[in-house]
Amino acid sequence: MYNLVLKKFESHKKMKILVAIKRVQDYNVKVRPKSDGSDVDIDGIKMGINPFDENALEEALRLREKELATEITVVSIGDSKNEDVLRHGLAMGANRAILIESEEYLQPLSVAKVLKGLVEKEKPDLILLGKLALDSDAGQTGQMLAGLLNYPQGTFVSKIEINNNKLIVTREIDGGTNILEMSVPAVLTADLRLNEPRFVKLPNLMMARKKTIEKVKASELASDTSTNIELLEVSVPPSRKAGIKVSSAKELLQKLKDNEGIKL
């Protein structure tokens, strides 16, 4: 019996977790293009931590509460404005915060390259990210990072368990779920269903203000963050046509056939 307990104790290696968080517009804000169409107008709008990234951090904290993780580091890329989301991460309970300084808005591939540099330096066992950022709607950084590191990946994750030092990951996919088993180090991206992030208490936020945020330049972590993508123009999407009422199922079928090209 004693042996069994000992074995169980030994079988859980405590993980070091890196959580990447992005500062984006508040999800209630409707972002508009600038009048000249050169970019979006985000001056003065409410910003905060990307919701999916908050799920990723919450899960890391829960793994630490289950004594499966030791140190949780939050990292964000950008200018000093990003300190607010890092402090939010510290207030939620992260042990450390790192700001990767970059003046330019980086594309997902460049973000992945910079994070790869940090992973090689910090050597986390698990890297958690949100599955998507509310601004670019790209949903790529986690998979790209896993590809660059040649780590196993789990995307759109709604449940994380650990058994014999293996991650058992439930993923949300079209029409159901799929479950993967993988070793660490690995990269996982969080779905909103993963958990309900905790509220940040005011005293925690006050304490987080006093903590140091470590800083490193993006150029020290990745030699090339240039991109071949050029933004030409942003615009307001064409408004949707008003709906119509049909009087019978037969008319509906006819409309679908004539107007939507659906073959019946």
Partner 1 sequence: MFKVISAAKSWDGEIDLLIMGKNTADVAQNAAKIKDLSSIIRLDGNHLEHLLAEDAAKIVEMLSDSYQVILAAHSWFSRNFLPRVAAILNVSLITDVLKIENNNVYTRSIYAGNVHAKIHSKDPIQLLTIHTSLFDACAKDGGDAKVIKKRFTSTNESDKLEVRENK
Pick the piece of the chain touching partner 1 (CB under 8 A) from 4-12, 62-70, 120-128, 131-139.
131-139
- Kind and range of the H or E element at 220? helix 218-221
**235 versus 248: smaller Cβ distance to partner 1:** 235
Q: Is 73 in the site for partner 1 (CB under 8 A)?
A: no
Q: Does 228 bind partner 1 (CB under 8 A)?
A: yes
Measured CA to CA in angstroms, residue 104 lies from 57, 199, 254 at distances of 25, 31, 52
Q: How far apart are CA 173 and CA 258, in angstroms?
A: 33
Nearer to partner 1, 107 or 213 (CB): 107
Neighbouring residues of 59: CB distance < 8 A, sequence distance ≥ 6: 128, 160, 190, 194, 195
- Rounded-to-integer distance, Cα 11 and Cα 56, Å: 24
Q: Which is nearer to partner 1, 67 or 260 (CB)?
A: 260
Instruction: Name the minimum Å distance from CB 189 to partner 1.
Output: 10
> Which residues have C-beta within 8 Å of that of residue 77, sequence separation ≥ 6?
22, 99, 100, 102, 106, 111, 114, 115, 218
Tell me the residue length of the chain: 264
How many residues bind partner 1, per CB under 8 A? 56
Query: Is 235 among the residues that bind partner 1 (CB under 8 A)?
Result: yes
What is the spatial distance between Cα 103 and Cα 84, in angstroms, rounded to a whole number? 16
Q: Is 264 in the site for partner 1 (CB under 8 A)?
A: no
Per-residue contact flags (x/-) with partner 1 for residues 139 to 178, judged by CB under 8 A: xxxxxxxxxx-x-xx-xx-----------x---xxxxxxx
Stretch that binds partner 1, among 79-87, 90-98, 138-146, 249-257 (CB under 8 A): 138-146
To partner 1, the closest distance from the beta carbon of 210 in angstroms equals 34
- Asked if 31 interacts with partner 1 (CB under 8 A), we say yes
Is residue 222 near partner 1 by the rule CB under 8 A? Answer: no
- Residue 59, token pair as written in the block: 């899960």
Secondary structure class of 151 (helix, strand, coil): coil
- For partner 1, the binding residue among 183, 215, 217, 246 (CB under 8 A) is 183
Q: With binding defined as CB under 8 A, does residue 227 bind partner 1?
A: yes
What are 101's strand-pairing partners? Answer: 78, 217
| Euclidean distance between CA atoms 44 and 238, whole angstroms | 25
Examine residue 185 and say whether the peptide bond preceding it is cis (omega within 30 degrees of 0). yes
192 binds partner 1 per the rule CB under 8 A: no
Residues in touch with partner 1 (CB under 8 A): 25, 27, 30-33, 40, 107-109, 112, 134-148, 150, 152-153, 155-156, 168, 172-183, 227-237, 261
